[in-house]
Chain A
């Protein structure tokens, strides 16, 4: 089974700081099927990054996706108050989609 492991589980930062979120996949796959989502309380997930590094429509350029193979990173260059949320990675392989367990970015 494909497993996505996100780290850290929780990231405590202040507004204006840089956030670096990691997602490791236990096997190689086509990175065009790798995405990042943001979810705020009471809301559905929102697509941030697709194809590992392409920003979705309307996503600010402070969000950057990178990586390939089995290691992927979401970087938020300068945290805005609205960026404190839970972030999930996702990939497609073997006819199924898998999500990571999430990283919570909280205000320090």
Chain B
């Protein structure tokens, strides 16, 4: 059974930083691209970033380029999202997802709230 568990969310002040983690089991993590997607409660889905199997290729949506960094540790079956210079509009539920030609597995998300 595939399990993907995000953690690291919480309340942070504008301008602050957070590091999200996603621990994966149930599939060969190191063989797949992985993505982060976020969703403001009650709103739609926004893809943020993805990373290839050996971490040599990373892509980001324009709104987070230069502020967010995606990374992974294949030995620990873990995906990360380092978020800096956080803004109120970054408040959302953050999901990790198994990437490929589609997103067939998702975690349950971790909530990030940016507020003073």
Expressed in whole angstroms, the minimum distance between the Cβ of A23 and any Cβ of chain B is: 13
A56 at the interface (CB under 8 A from B): yes
Interface range on chain B: under 10, 10 to 19, 20 to 34, or 35 or more? 10 to 19
A46 neighbours in B (Cβ, 8 Å): 106
Cβ contacts under 8 Å, B109 to chain A = 44
Known: A44-B95, A44-B109. A97 touches B104 (CB 8 A): no
The residues of A that contact B108 with a CB separation of less than 8 Å are: 43-44
Would you give the shortest CB distance from A88 to chain B, in whole angstroms?
6
Q: How many whole Å from A72's CB to the nearest CB in chain B?
A: 14
Residue of B nearest to A6 (CB): B44
> Is A62 on the interface with B (CB-CB < 8 A)?
no
Decide if A47 touches B101 in the complex (CB within 8 Å).
no
The 8 A-B residue pairs whose C-beta atoms are closest, nearest first, are A97-B47, A50-B102, A44-B106, A99-B45, A35-B102, A95-B59, A47-B104, A101-B44
CB pairs A–B below 8 angstroms (19 shown): A35-B102, A35-B103, A39-B45, A43-B108, A44-B106, A44-B107, A45-B103, A45-B106, A46-B106, A47-B103, A51-B101, A56-B102, A90-B102, A97-B47, A99-B44, A99-B46, A99-B47, A101-B44, A102-B44
Q: Which residues of A contact B (CB under 8 A)?
A: 32-33, 35, 37, 39, 43-47, 50-51, 56-57, 88, 90, 92, 95-102
